[in-house]
Structure 1
């Protein structure tokens, strides 16, 4: 994990210890990203508040789909694994495997595919985005608020993923995530990098 020296669970105090405890209760372990982000507990808490406000507005199913798509665009192993694991609350394993391998051919409705396409483009080349990108979401029936929420979710994922990539934070594999799912979540990123390299 890069040059950072994180604080162990037994040594953490205050807000850092609270962040560790929350993840241990929710996930069964403390991910590497929490150990890094909790070094600035005020900013980490602000991130969690922002994430909650976005997800609460758009609903968790849509939030996880947009997050997975943005993470794909970014090549973020961290977020593909973490949110693939979280998405199992909203999709059965077979559909999530299909989404992970190719969301355009996974039985999602056209509006869900459109918002995922939007998130991928925002995460790969936001400077190239034009009115037509948002217009496609409008044509799929999304309201102004929903378009803003989709954009916020994808942009917020860019914020967090780029921090983890820049600091060379260890990639955690959620303990309950099976090998097939792990491969499906990571293969599109590996394929993308092979083409780019």
Structure 2
């Protein structure tokens, strides 16, 4: 059975295929956990329930992360300084990319990230803008299967559109 986002792209399967290719290329260059943290930060700032639920689930299931705490306040969730800086950068890309300075990027370099690592975070956040905004502009609700997530976690990840009834 296709997901709600797959149904949304039924009129433009070529665009969905291009999105999958782009997203796969971005993800392939990154540590998966870092990708998921950056994507969750971007999705929260975009108020994309669908993407928060999808990527929060990956963080919880594959990495055992305290996703509820991260979603509510990643600064107080026990993440290391690099993870916090990555999430902050992803949020800034969504919020106002023009406000990012070379000094901001230097801070990430000082924490040990390479210019490629930094670009990967920017790419993950910028790509999330396309996908999340497309879903929300088409009124796509997160799949009903997300109702099975623990209620407190679900509440922290539903930041925009509600989960579909069926």
The TM-score bracket by the shorter chain reads: 0.7 to 0.9
Q: 1:175 deviation in Å? A: 4.6
Q: How does 1:112-123 map onto structure 2 within 5 Å?
A: 112-123=83-94
Q: Which has the higher contact order (CA 8 A, sep 6+)?
A: 2
Q: Match of 2:122?
A: 151
Relative to 1, partners in 2 of residues 1:172 and 1:133: Cα closer, same or farther, differing over 3 Å?
farther
Q: Which entry has the higher C-alpha Rg, 1 or 2?
A: 1
Structure 1: give runs of 5+ residues left out of the alignment.
1-23, 25-29, 191-197
Is 1:49 matched up with 2:21? Answer: yes
Q: Match of 2:101?
A: 130
TM-score, length-normalised on structure 1? Answer: 0.74
Q: 1:123 deviation in Å? A: 0.7
SS at match of 2:91: helix
Aligned alpha-carbon RMSD (Å): 1.7
Q: 1:86 deviation in Å? A: 2.1
Is 1:141 matched up with 2:139? Answer: no
CA distance in 2, matches of 1:90, 1:50: 22
Is 1:102 matched up with 2:73? Answer: yes
Q: Match of 2:131?
A: 160
2:48 to 76, 83, 97: 76
Q: 1:181 deviation in Å? A: 0.9
SS at match of 1:90: helix
Query: Quick check: 113-122 or 172-181, which moved more?
Result: 172-181
- Is contact 2:49–2:142 with CA below 8 Å preserved after alignment? yes
CA distance in 2, matches of 1:147, 1:69: 15
CA distances 1:25-66 after superposition (whole Å, capped 9, x unpaired): xxxxx3211111232111111111111111121121011000
Q: Match of 1:66?
A: 38
TM-score, length-normalised on structure 2? Answer: 0.87
